[in-house]
Amino acid sequence: MFFFESIPWYSVLMWFGVVAGLMLMNELARSNKWIAIILFTALPIILTIFVWPTTAGAGSSTGTWFHWVKVYSALAGCLGFLALRFIKGADKNKYLLAFPALILAINIMEAVIRDFQVYSLHGMIDGVFMNGGVWNIMNGVAGILNILTISGWLGIQISKDKQKDMIWADQMWFWIIAYDLWNFAYVYNCVSDHSFYAGAALLISCTIPAFFIKKGAWLQHRAQTLAFWMMFTMSFPQFVGESKFSVQSSHSSKALFIASFVALIANIAVFIYHIYRIKKYHKNILKDEVYAGLSAFEEVKQNN
């Protein structure tokens, strides 16, 4: 294949298994706040003390600063969102409502910094093959545009059903797709041999529920599936790189360029549309929901 070397049938089955497993864990965490608290506090504490120092130590494929920062920032997001969802009055505090946007922007910027760093790297580094190039710069710019189009966080609300999901109506489907394209390109650029699972499967596992299970809760789905994936991959780093089910990247410069180019074009398009709506409807990006009035936006609002 263009992006990957040969993909055997059992790896395809495992890919679907990873997607299903992450979606199942996400639904488990959604189902009950106490289950979620255990999964996002007790479990990572145990792993931090007894597992990760061995499995994610120096020299392993998950032993970089980025992996350690990523797992804890994802967990911080999950816990922060739980607080917004279940602490009475938290969803009415404008400063607390800014937290989801802040943690999202920080997570994207972490990856942008890593993309820029990988630009000058070539060969095997920390157990991962790097093929840095102009695609890293292109995708870093795409990530910055993705941050600049985050809006409407003061409109975040908590759903009235038993799950009490965190609903962010201004995170429209086209922004989510632009994010997915950027994030896949990031994973493909920076940890290519992990991207079959850590890129494609992980992104699909939160996009499906955002489009078909609970619309408007994409960031909650994203944080939870990312946290579960990071805990798993730091515990079993050999799964994506050395196991029977691993799928290697083609490491093609053309494939790297195309992935980042598509991500950049998508994020430029969303950025242009974002600015258009701000100017046409005189939106204040620090206060207003930029996409209010669009049918998909109104559907999310009415359903919650």
Q: What is the pLDDT of residues 85-117, one digit of tens each?
A: 999 999 999 999 999 999 999 989 989 999 999
Q: Are 139 and 115 in contact (CB under 8 A)?
A: yes
Q: How many Cβ atoms sit within 10 Å of the Cβ of residue 160? A: 11
Q: Each residue of 235-267: pLDDT tens digit?
A: 998 898 889 999 999 999 999 999 999 999 999
Q: Across the chain, how many H-helices and E-strands are there?
A: 13, 4
Quote the strand ranges of 91-225, DSSP E: 122-125, 128-131, 157-158, 166-167
For position 1, what pLDDT does the model report?
Answer: 67
How many structural domains comprise the chain?
1
pTM as predicted: 0.95
Joined tokens for residue 119: 């630009």
> What does the longest C-alpha to C-alpha distance in the chain come to?
55
Q: Are 270 and 149 in contact (CB under 8 A)?
A: yes
Output the average pLDDT for the chain: 95
The answer as to whether 187 is a domain residue is yes
The answer as to whether 268 is a domain residue is yes
| CA distances from residue 112 to 125, 141, 183, 243, 260 in whole angstroms, order as listed | 18, 8, 10, 29, 12
Q: 8 exposed, middle or buried (CB, 10 Å; 0-12, 13-18, 19+)? A: exposed
Q: Virtual CA dihedral for 160, 101, 176, 185, nearest 10 degrees?
A: -150
For position 143, what pLDDT does the model report?
Answer: 98
Q: Each residue of 140-174: pLDDT tens digit?
A: 999 999 999 999 999 999 999 999 999 999 999 99
The answer as to whether 4 is a domain residue is no
**Domain containing residue 249:** 9-303
